[in-house]
Amino acid sequence: MSVPSLPPTAFDEQAAVADIAGIEPRGRMAFLRAPALRRPSMLFGLGVVVFFVLVAIFAPLLEPYDPRAKTGAVYEAPSSAHWLGTDDGGADMLSLVIAGSRVSLIVGFAAALVAMLIGGTIGLWSGFYGGKSDTILMRITDYVLVIPDIPLMIIIAALFGRSLTNIILIIGIIYWTSTARLIRAQTKSVRERAYVTRARALGARNQRLIGKHVLPQVMPLLIANTVLTVAIAIFAETYITFLGLGDPSLISWGRLIENAFTGDAVLNDAWWAIVPPGVCVTLVILACTMIGMAMEDALNPRLRVGHLSVRRFRLRPLKGALETE
């Protein structure tokens, strides 16, 4: 089903002006300079993501205990020995949460990468070549979009096994569709720009056109979209593991939440087994969303114009040299 959507725009005035002049815009540099990328929310987002990535990388060094070993009593409350208490098997929650960051982030990034590759390729192909392959690809996308995502994931996960790779692939295969549409729209718009037509007229082959002229202009949008897909992928992983369909040998934040549920953490009032992994997931998803939104704003600055303000227009008294005319 097609929904009327906003047309893609040149992501800064330079690109539009360059288009009129028929020259190639210095897209990437201008994009990186956009003020939207300096917003506190963007910096917060980046900070959080970097923090958790570091935690994941250095997990074995940071864990106070072996996350799989019983190092305390069952559902022990937080104490100086166990900062976040223990789970239903007596394992240290803090170590578990730190260890969980690895799988959660890996799944998030990897699945988003898969989705980006599939969606990006389809979108580029569709948008660039147009015609019959475009129609076919878009019809397929429309039909895939209609399939309910979570139930499909549950079914495939239930049937095809619970390995890490499978989970990554499943998520990636389900969530490429919005990327494909977005990239297709952007590719179409870029393709019509003057410098591409000129390059084509000069005899550049399609691969060169795509690689050198179209792709750089599409890349920032693709990255912004991929960041948002990371958030969706992490969500999806928590759903799959919550329903008991994850790899039981892996520790992930989703797994910790599931464990708390099946281990009756609620009955034991063990909030420390429930809250921390969820907070981590929420923070990372929040961070990715903010980064993605800031990037999209940088690409599409017109949202900053506003005619209304609650504050009245501001008057200044004239002073000094301006007073006499």
Is 322 a binding residue for another protein by CB under 8 A? The answer is yes
Is 131 a binding residue for another protein by CB under 8 A? The answer is no
* 166 contacts: CB under 8 Å, gap ≥ 6: 157, 160
As measured in angstroms, the least distance from the Cβ of 5 to another protein is 9
**Residues in region 26-85 near another protein by CB under 8 A:** 35
- Contact by Cβ (8 Å): 138, 196: no
Q: What angle do CA 231, 237, 239 make, to 5 degrees?
A: 105
As measured in angstroms, the least distance from the Cβ of 217 to another protein is 23
Which range touches another protein (CB under 8 A), out of 17-25, 73-81, 111-119, 316-324? Answer: 316-324
Q: Which is nearer to another protein, 26 or 139 (CB)?
A: 139
- Contact by Cβ (8 Å): 39, 52: no
Q: How many residues at the interface with another protein, by CB under 8 A?
A: 65
Q: Which is nearer to another protein, 216 or 301 (CB)?
A: 301
**Residues in region 214-243 near another protein by CB under 8 A:** 231, 235, 238-239, 242-243
**DSSP codes joined into one string, 240-266:** HHHTT-S-TT---HHHHHHHHHHTTTT
As measured in angstroms, the least distance from the Cβ of 48 to another protein is 11
| CA 157 to each of CA 162, 168, 237: distance values in angstroms, whole numbers, following the listed order | 6, 10, 11
Is 148 a binding residue for another protein by CB under 8 A? The answer is yes
Is 154 a binding residue for another protein by CB under 8 A? The answer is yes
At residue 114, φ and ψ (nearest 5 deg) are: -60, -50
| Alpha-carbon gap, residue 94 to 83, rounded angstroms | 7
**DSSP codes joined into one string, 106-159:** HHHHHHHHHHHHHHHHHHHHHHHH-HHHHHHHHHHHHHHHHS-HHHHHHHHHHH
Is 149 a binding residue for another protein by CB under 8 A? The answer is yes
Is 142 a binding residue for another protein by CB under 8 A? The answer is yes
Which range touches another protein (CB under 8 A), out of 88-96, 148-156, 180-188, 209-217? Answer: 148-156
Q: Which pair of tokens denotes residue 47?
A: 């900070």
Amino acid at 201: A
Which range touches another protein (CB under 8 A), out of 95-103, 113-121, 201-209, 311-319? Answer: 311-319
Q: Which of 20, 80, 305, 320 binds another protein (CB under 8 A)?
A: 305
Q: Which of 147, 205, 206, 248 binds another protein (CB under 8 A)?
A: 147
**Backbone Cα Rg of the chain:** 25
As measured in angstroms, the least distance from the Cβ of 111 to another protein is 15
Is 7 a binding residue for another protein by CB under 8 A? The answer is no
**Residues in region 245-274 near another protein by CB under 8 A:** 254, 257, 260-261, 265-266, 269, 271, 274
Element (H, E) at 213: none
| Alpha-carbon gap, residue 263 to 284, rounded angstroms | 25
Q: Which is nearer to another protein, 3 or 61 (CB)?
A: 3
| Alpha-carbon gap, residue 81 to 99, rounded angstroms | 18
Positions in the binding site for another protein (CB under 8 A): 1, 3-4, 35, 142-143, 145-152, 154-155, 158-160, 231, 235, 238-239, 242-244, 254, 257, 260-261, 265-266, 269, 271, 274-275, 277-278, 281-283, 285-286, 289-290, 302-318, 322-323, 325
